[in-house]
Structure 1
Amino acid sequence: MKKHILLLLTLAASFTACKVTERSGHNGYLYTQKTGWADKKWKLVWQDDFNGPQIDTTKWTRIPPNNAAWGKHMSADDRCYRIDSGKLYLIGINNPDTLKDPRPFLTGGIYTKGKFAFQYGKIEIHAKLECAQGAWPAMWMLAETDKYGKYPKNGEIDIMEHLNYDSIFYQTTHSYYTLNLKQTEHPPHFGTAALNPLEFNTFGISWYPDKIVFLLNGKETFVYPRVKNVDPSQWPYDQPFYLLIDQQLGGDWVGAVKPGTLPVQMIVDWVKVYQ
C-alpha cells in the first residue's frame, strides 16, 4: 500500500512540475507563465476560433466608448459586429441615427478585460484588414492589475496598428518611460513592417521577462528589450495584460474619417495564446 501511495505522490508531483502556467484571480482568469519556461515548447492555453453563432461573452466584452482618441466611436451596436463562417467582423460605419446618438461614426471592438489576461507567452491573431480614410484597426494589450498605478505607468503593447491605406503597420510599446520621460530611443520603442492589408496575416508577439519580440506571420519584425541601469519605468511588462482588438476610426494620428469610404471592417479568423 505504501508503495502505491508513494507512486501516486510521485506522479502528482511530476504532473505539477510539468505545468507551464499558473492561474489566479477570479475564476482563474490570470494566466502567469512560470519562470524558467521561456525556452520550452509553447503550449496552447487559450483560444477563440469564432465558430459559435455569436461572440463568446465568457471570453470577450464589447468595448464601450471612452474619451481617448481611439475610443470615442466605440459602440455595442449590433451593426458593428458580425460572426459568419468562423470569422468575426468588427465594422466601422456611418451612424444611421445621430438623433439617438450624436456621434457621426460607430465602430466595433472587443476586449478580454476581467475575463482573460496573461503574463509572458506568445499570442497570435490571424486577421485581414480593410482600408478606408480614417481607419485605424488595432490589436493591443493593457495591464489588467495596475501594478504601478494609472496609465501610462503600467505600459501598453501594440501588436498591430494600421493607418488608412498604408502598406506598412506599426508595432509599439508605450509607458511612462517613453511618454513622460521621452525615452523613445534607448531602446527604440517601435518598429514597422510591410504587409498587404488585403490578405490574411498572423500578427503576434513572443513575450519574455527580458524582451518582447514582435512577429508577422511567425517571423521576427521588432524587439523591445528590457534595459539595465535606466529608470525602472522602462519595463512595466512584468504583470498580466489583457487583449483588445478593435476597428478604430479617426484621431490625430490617423486623420479625419471620410464618410464615403465607410463601412470598413477588420476580419478576425482566430486568436491563440501559448505559454
Structure 2
Amino acid sequence: MTVLFTIIMNMVNIQMSFAQSTNHLPKDKTWKLVWNDEFNGKELDTTKWGFRLHIMQTRHITWTDDAYKLDGKGSLLMKAYKNEGEYHTTQLQTGSNFMDRPGNQYGKTELTWPIANLKSPKFLHKYGYYEIRCKLPTQEGWWVAFWLQSPTIGSSLDPLASGVEIDIMENFKRNGTISQNIHWNGYGENHEHEGSGEMKMGLNDNEFHTYGVDWSPTGYVFYVDGKETWRISGPVSHTEQFILVSAECNGYREGAASPILKEAILPDYFEVDYVRVYDEVKI
C-alpha cells in the first residue's frame, strides 16, 4: 500500500512540475496537468481526437479528415488546400454536439431519418485551464480557432446546464488580431453573445504564441502568452464540454469560397505545438 501511494504521489508531483514549468500558466493558482496532446510522432492520436464533418444537421462539403499532418517533430500542421476546384480544411474535436449528427449526405439541408448514432466522447471536462501553443496561418481567406463546446448547447434556455461555447482564440484575418468570445442559448433567435472584440496584438508574426482560458465556477479569464486579455463573469457553463481545434475556409456558409481565398497561395498551415488541460490544485 505504501509503495502504491508513493507511485501515485510521484505521478502527481511530475504532473504538477510539468504544469508549473510552463511560464504562461496563470500564476495566481497551482495547476495539475490532466489531459494533453503534444503531437509527437507521425500519426494523430485518434483515441483523443475525432473529426467534425457536419454543421447544424448538414454535411459540410469542405470539412475533411485529411487536411492535416503530424510533422514528426512535435507539431500538428492543419492546412487549407484546394482540390478539384474546392477548398478544404479539418476540424478536430474530442466530443461532438448533438446538432451535428445527421444521416444525410453532402449539401442536403433536410434532416433524414434515422440520424447518426450517438458516439461516446473521447474527452469531456469541466472547469480548469485550457491552453494551446500555436503559430497562426499566413494566407488570407481561411480562419482558425481553439474553443470549447457543449454536447447539448441550445437544448434549453439554461446555459448553466446546457453549456456555453467558449472561444479561446479565433483568428479571422492576417492582420495580427484575434478575438475571444462566449455564445449561449443555441444559434437561433435565442442566441446571445459577449466578446472581447477584435484585439490587435501582432500575432501573425510567424511565431508560436499561447492562448488560454481559466474556466471556473465564477467566470472565464482569457490569456495570450500568459497575460490576461479579457474576462467575463458569465453565464458560466457548469456542464462538461469538449475541445475543438478547427479551421474553416471563408465563404462556404454563404454557398461558395470567398474571392480572397482564391488568391491565397496554398497549402497554408496552422501549426499547433500542443493542447493542454489543467485542473486547479487546492493547497
TM-score by length of 1: 0.71
Aligned pair 1:74/2:63, yes or no? yes
SS of corresponding position for 2:263: helix
Aligned pair 1:115/2:122, yes or no? yes
Task: Tell me if structure 2 keeps the 8 A contact 1:135–1:264.
Answer: no
Offset of residue 40 of structure 1: 5.0
Task: Tell me if structure 1 keeps the 8 A contact 2:153–2:164.
Answer: no
Aligned residue identity for 1:238: H
Task: Tell me if structure 1 keeps the 8 A contact 2:154–2:185.
Answer: no
Aligned pair 1:130/2:137, yes or no? yes
Aligned residue identity for 1:63: R
Aligned residue identity for 2:43: Q
Q: How does 1:76-95 map to 2 (within 5 A)?
A: 76-77=65-66, 80-84=67-71, 85-95=73-83
Offset of residue 266 of structure 1: 0.6
Q: Unaligned 5+ residue runs, structure 1? A: 19-38, 99-103, 227-233
SS of corresponding position for 2:174: coil
CA distance in 2, matches of 1:178, 1:109: 19
Deviations 1:3-43 (A, max 9, x none): xx9xx8xx89xx8xx9xxxxxxxxxxxxxxxxxxxx75110
Inter-CA distance 257–75: structure 2 relative to 1 (3 Å threshold) = farther
Offset of residue 190 of structure 1: 3.0
Which has the higher Rg, Structure 1 or Structure 2? 1
Aligned pair 1:204/2:212, yes or no? yes
User: Could you tell me which residue of structure 2 aligns to residue 219 of structure 1?
Assistant: 227
TM-score by length of 2: 0.69
Alignment root-mean-square deviation, CA? 3.3
SS of corresponding position for 1:115: coil
Aligned pair 1:258/2:261, yes or no? yes
Inter-CA distance 241–183: structure 2 relative to 1 (3 Å threshold) = closer
Offset of residue 131 of structure 1: 2.6
CA distance in 2, matches of 1:268, 1:70: 26
Aligned residue identity for 2:263: G
Task: Tell me if structure 1 keeps the 8 A contact 2:68–2:78.
Answer: yes
User: Could you tell me which residue of structure 2 aligns to residue 267 of structure 1?
Assistant: 271
Task: Tell me if structure 2 keeps the 8 A contact 1:139–1:161.
Answer: yes
Offset of residue 148 of structure 1: 6.4
CA distance in 1, matches of 2:179, 2:58: 17
Aligned pair 1:140/2:128, yes or no? no
Inter-CA distance 129–205: structure 2 relative to 1 (3 Å threshold) = same
Inter-CA distance 94–65: structure 2 relative to 1 (3 Å threshold) = farther
CA distance in 1, matches of 2:218, 2:141: 35
Aligned residues: 224
Q: How does 1:40-51 map to 2 (within 5 A)?
A: 41-51=30-40
Deviations 1:57-89 (A, max 9, x none): 110112224358995521013xx1111111001
